[in-house]
């Protein structure tokens, strides 16, 4: 099938743009480029309009006059491709619940939809249906439904996502998990033995009534550094957990590595102010944006992964999939789609960003060794080949299957 991909790739780098990049690479890239990558999964010819409206994280979802001109430019490219190459399938990633982003989606649907036979939405963000019902006026809801409905195919990441797809009367809804390249194919030989050794050392230190040394437990936060993503809740949780360890005269101490960019100057200033406190300054290490081998090294060396998110559009974040790939025990929230990523009895989930609850979960996970199970969950559900195969099958169904759910 021929597919018009109206979506951007990094930069800026975030989960959605990265997954679009992986999709394009897996399907062989833009067929108009002669030196594209070989297709991992054949059968989908992509024609890419790199619809990048923001150059930095701070500009995402913000109004800028220049973005209106970009919308018209990208839509003209899409319409030209439609007639030049006979592409009838329009692939689009709808925005989360943000007004400016919603208005952008309106204009794109208004300009492009009449020229394409099939509209395919890939729901990388979650919660639009609830946001439309609770946070916007009835006229905005009506305009959204008028410009979007019905949708020929919605690709969702979870059962939670179904509400978004159903709200726009999708003829078909397919669940396709995200998937990434395996960052540690040597997990069983090298990483798992190290994890088990570190676990035994923590277990011994936790029960030692008179420790003669201090063992540092490396906690990793890897995400955009915002209140919604949980960086400040993570700092307070680690602080409280260390206080509890000290009160029981345990030789374990938690150290938090914060990897990621700050989105706003105000949150950067708040973080810097917090680190003026000697207690916090000693336990928090800011690393900024990391990628490649530096990121993989952090994931290898970490003992626990802490991600107390309540981000509006959180769905199936790549950072949790990366942590699973490294068999890294995770503490995160029961927010939106996140519980579906884990087994029903997974102990590392909290109800929100309450620092006391998070601190308790951190201490419990110190003695919960499930690296092998998390790794198995990654290989079974979130590996790249499975993702691309399921995604290609879902995309092709829009031309071969009748309306169904």
Q: What digits encode the pLDDT tens for the residues 77-124? A: 999 999 999 999 999 999 888 888 899 999 999 999 999 999 999 999
| Phi, psi at 8, each rounded to 5° | -100, 155
- Asked whether this chain's domains 2-179+383-400 and 187-382 adopt the same fold, the reply is yes
Q: What is the pLDDT of residue 65?
A: 67
Q: What is the pLDDT of residue 262?
A: 94
Cα angle vertex 358, ends 317, 277, to 5°? Answer: 105
d(CA 250, CA 214): 8
Cα angle vertex 283, ends 220, 281, to 5°? Answer: 125
Domain ranges of the chain: 2-179+383-400, 187-382
Among all chains, which residue has been given the structure tokens 């692939």? 91
Q: What digits encode the pLDDT tens for the residues 250-306? A: 999 999 999 999 999 999 999 999 999 999 999 999 999 999 999 999 999 999 999
pTM higher than the cut 0.95: no
DSSP string, 313-382: T-SS-HHHHHHHHTT--EEEE--TTGGGGS-TT-TTEESSS-HHHHHHHHHHHHT---HHHHHHHIIIII
Q: Where are the beta strands (DSSP E) in 157-278?
A: 170-175, 215-222, 252-259
Q: Name which residue leads in pLDDT, 6 or 136.
A: 6
Give domain 187-382's CATH number out of 1.10.540.10, 3.40.50.2000, 2.40.30.40, 3.40.50.300: 3.40.50.2000
Q: What is the pLDDT of residue 56?
A: 55
d(CA 387, CA 239): 38
d(CA 267, CA 277): 16
Is it true that domain 2-179+383-400 has CATH number 2.60.40.790? no
- Mean pLDDT (the chain) is 92
d(CA 103, CA 183): 37
pLDDT band at 405 (very low <50, low <70, confident <90, very high): very low
Q: What is the pLDDT of residue 55?
A: 67
| Token pair belonging to 70 | 């970009």
What's the chain's length in residues? Answer: 405
Q: Name which residue leads in pLDDT, 361 or 212.
A: 361
Does the pLDDT value for residue 66 go beyond 90? no
Does the pLDDT value for residue 60 go beyond 70? no
How many CA atoms lie less than 13 Å away from 217 in the CB half-sphere? 29
Does the pLDDT value for residue 72 go beyond 80? yes
Find the mean pLDDT for residues 209-235.
93
Q: What is the pLDDT of residue 404?
A: 46
pLDDT band at 361 (very low <50, low <70, confident <90, very high): very high
Q: CB within 8 A of 142, min separation 6: which ones?
A: none
d(CA 330, CA 305): 5
d(CA 395, CA 120): 8
| Dihedral Cα 91, 93, 98, 102, nearest 10 deg | 0
How many CA atoms lie less than 13 Å away from 188 in the CB half-sphere? 3
Q: What digits encode the pLDDT tens for the residues 188-219? A: 999 999 999 999 999 888 877 777 789 999 99
Find the mean pLDDT for residues 319-327.
97
Q: What is the pLDDT of residue 12?
A: 81
Instruction: Tell me the sheet residues that pair with 350.
Output: 333
């Amino acid at each position: 099938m021929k597919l018009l991909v109206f979506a951007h790739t990094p930069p800026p780098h975030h989960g959605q743009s990265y997954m679009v990049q992986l999709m394009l690479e897996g399907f062989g890239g833009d067929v108009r480029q002669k030196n594209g990558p070989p297709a991992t999964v054949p059968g989908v010819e992509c024609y890419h309009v790199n619809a990048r409206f923001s150059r930095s994280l701070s500009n995402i979802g913000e109004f800028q006059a220049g973005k209106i001109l970009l919308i018209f430019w990208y839509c003209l490219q899409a319409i030209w491709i439609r007639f030049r190459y006979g592409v009838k399938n329009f692939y689009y990633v709808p925005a989360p619940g943000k007004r400016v982003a919603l208005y952008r989606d309106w204009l794109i649907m208004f300009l492009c939809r009449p020229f394409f036979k099939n509209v395919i939405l890939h729901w990388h963000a979650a919660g639009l249906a609830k946001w439309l019902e609770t946070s916007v006026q009835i006229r905005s809801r009506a305009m959204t439904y008028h410009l979007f409905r019905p949708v020929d195919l919605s690709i969702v990441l979870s059962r939670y996502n179904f509400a978004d797809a159903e709200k726009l009367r999708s003829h078909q809804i397919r669940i396709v998990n995200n998937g990434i390249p395996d960052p540690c194919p040597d997990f069983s030989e090298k990483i798992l033995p190290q994890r088990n050794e570190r676990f035994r050392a923590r277990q011994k230190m936790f029960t030692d009534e008179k420790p003669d040394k201090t063992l540092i437990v490396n906690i990793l936060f890897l995400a955009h550094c915002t209140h919604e993503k949980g960086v400040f809740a993570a700092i307070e949780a680690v602080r409280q957990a260390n206080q509890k360890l000290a009160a029981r005269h345990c030789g374990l101490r938690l150290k938090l590595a914060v990897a990621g960019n700050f989105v706003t100057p105000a949150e950067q200033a708040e973080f810097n102010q917090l680190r003026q406190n000697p207690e916090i300054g000693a336990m928090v290490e800011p690393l900024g944006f990391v990628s490649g081998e530096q990121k993989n090294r952090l994931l290898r060396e970490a003992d626990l992964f802490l991600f107390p998110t309540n981000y509006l559009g959180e769905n199936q974040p790549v950072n949790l999939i990366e942590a699973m790939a490294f068999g890294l025990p995770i503490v995160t929230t029961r927010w939106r789609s996140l519980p579906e990523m884990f087994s029903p009895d997974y102990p590392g989930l909290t109800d929100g960003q309450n620092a006391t609850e998070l601190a308790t979960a951190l201490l419990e996970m110190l003695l919960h060794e499930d690296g092998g199970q998390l790794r198995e969950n990654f290989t079974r559900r979130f590996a790249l080949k499975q993702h691309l195969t399921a995604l290609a099958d879902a995309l092709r169904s829009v031309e071969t299957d009748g309306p169904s759910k």
